[in-house]
Structure 1
Amino acid sequence: MWGQDKFGNFRQINGLQSIKPSPESNSIRFKLRFKGFLYGYVVGDFNNWQKHEDYRLNWKPDYNDGVLRMIKDVSFREKLSSGRHEYTYILIDSEGNEVKLSLSDQSFEPFYFTWFAINYATEIKSSEDVVTVGFPLDLVAIQNSSHNRKEVVDVKWAVFPKTNDITISENGQLLILDNPDELEEIKIKCYDQHNNTVAERIFKVITQARETSRVHFIKMDNIYSGNNFCWDIWAFDEDKPSKVVNFAGHSDFGIVADCDMANIIVRKKVWGRGGVMNGLNKRLLLI
C-alpha cells in the first residue's frame, strides 16, 4: 500500500484497512490500523471526496477483538446506488501532515467496493379482514426486504374516502363511527417516507352490530395445534355457566374467536394415549 503526500510523492506504508458493508442499515464500518497517525478520514464518491467530521476515523478498541484501530461507522443519508463505489483514506500525523492512501505508486488508485442495494416492499397487516362500524381495527405496516427480513415500520396513514365519521390514528387504529353514506368498502394507504414505499389495502365495511367480543391469540412460533394438543378458550361469567370456545378463524396476527363472556382464559389441552387429556396448561390472554 502507498501513501501520497500533498506534493504528489508516493511512499510505501504498512498497515491494514477493511470495511463491513451493511445494506440493510445503509451503512458501512470502516477500519484502519496504521501506526504513526493520529486519525484519518474516509473519502469517496459517496461524499464527493471531501474531508468531513462525519467521516472521521478515531482510535478506539474494536469490539470484535479488543485491538485498537481507527474506526468509523458511516450511515449514509441518501441510499447508495447498486454497483461499484470508490474510496480511500486521508491519514493525519502528529504534525498535521496529510497522506492519502493508494493502491499504486504510479498514480493515485483508490479502493473500491460493490454495493448491492436492497429493494423494500411494504404491506399492511390487520387484526381483521373487514372493518365493523363502531369497532376499532388495528393496522400494522410490515416492511419486507430482498433479504427476507421483516420488520414493523413507522408510516403515515391515510383513509379513502375522507369523512368526519372515519378516523385513523398515528399508530394505525382505524375506527368508523357511523356510516351514513352506506359505504361498502374503504381504502387504506400507508407511506413509508424513509424507503419511499407505498402500500394500500381495501376493507369491506360491516354495518351489522357485533354482539360478541373478538379474541385474538398470538404465539411467536405460530403453532396452535398438533397431534396431541390444541389451544382453546375457557370462558366464564358470574351468572352463566362456563363453556369452551374454540378458535374458529385466523387473522394476519394469529387465531381468533368470538366470545360473549366477560372472563376468559386461553388454555393448552394435551392428550395422552386413548385420547384422554392428561394435562391442562392455562395461560392468561392479552387482548
Structure 2
Amino acid sequence: MPKLPGMTTFRELHQSGFFVLPNAWDPASAQLLSAVPGVPAIGTTSAGVAAALGQPDGERMPLAVMIKAVAAIIEASAVPVTADLEGGYGDIRACIAAAVDVGAAGVNIEDVRYPDGAIRDAAEAADRIATARSVSDDLVINARTDVWWSGSRDFDEGVARLRRFLQAGADCVFVPGFPEAQIPELVAALPGAAINILASPTLPYPEVLAAMGVRRVSTGSWLCRLAWGSSRDALAGLLGGQGFAGLATTLSYPDLMKALDKRY
C-alpha cells in the first residue's frame, strides 16, 4: 500500500509510541475494523481466517488458500495489513514471498512447527526469521514465540529466544500467554525492542500498557470469537425462551451497507 500524505507507515508505528492492532478474518471485517477512528493498521488472524472457511487453526489449509484470504483482506482494508502466517507453512521463503506479492505490510511468524505443534529449536526458529528477512527489507516481521503458552520455558529462556529473533531480523516480538504482571520485567530485559502483547479482557488500559513500554497489542481471534459467540448466544437465548431481545445490535443494516460500499 503506498504511503499517503500524513500517513504513518506500518514500520514507523513500531518505532515509538503504542497502538492497538485489530485482527480481521474476512473482507467485511477488514472494511469495518479499518474504518474505526484511531485504527492505523490491521492484522489478519489465522484462527479467524481458517474458521471463516470452516477449518481449524494450525496450517490445515494450503498456503495458497490462506494467501488468497489475506489478499482479499488487504484489498478491503483502508489501512496497511500484516498477515498472520502461523509457522510459515513449511517453505518460509515461498510463504513470505507470497505475502509480499499480495501487498502485506508485515507478517507474523510463530516458532511452532505444524502439524505436530512442537516448538522449534531456538536456532532453527531464528534461522527462519533470517530467511524471512532476506526476502524483503521493508516487511515488518513480528516474531512470535509460544513458549509461555506451552508452559515449558522459564523467563530467562524465553527472553534469550526473543533476543535471537531480534538479532535475526525481527522488528517486533510477540509473546502470547506472557504473564501480565511481568510485562515491565520483559520490557526491561529487551530495551528498545518493540514488544507485542496479546489482548485479553484482563489487560490494563492501553495507556497503562503504553506507560510500561509496550508498543503493540493485537486482538488476535478475540474479535471474531466475540462476533460469532454473540450470534450463537443470541440464537440460543431465542430458542431457549428468552425472546428476540438478544438480536439487538449497535450495527444497523444501513450502517453495514454503507461501511461495505466503497463509494463512501
Fold match by TM threshold 0.5: no
TM-score of Structure 1 vs Structure 2, range by shorter chain:
under 0.3
Relative CO higher for 1 or 2, CA cutoff 8 Å, sep ≥ 6? 2
Q: Which has the higher helix share?
A: 2
TM-score w.r.t. structure 1 length? 0.19
TM-score w.r.t. structure 2 length? 0.21
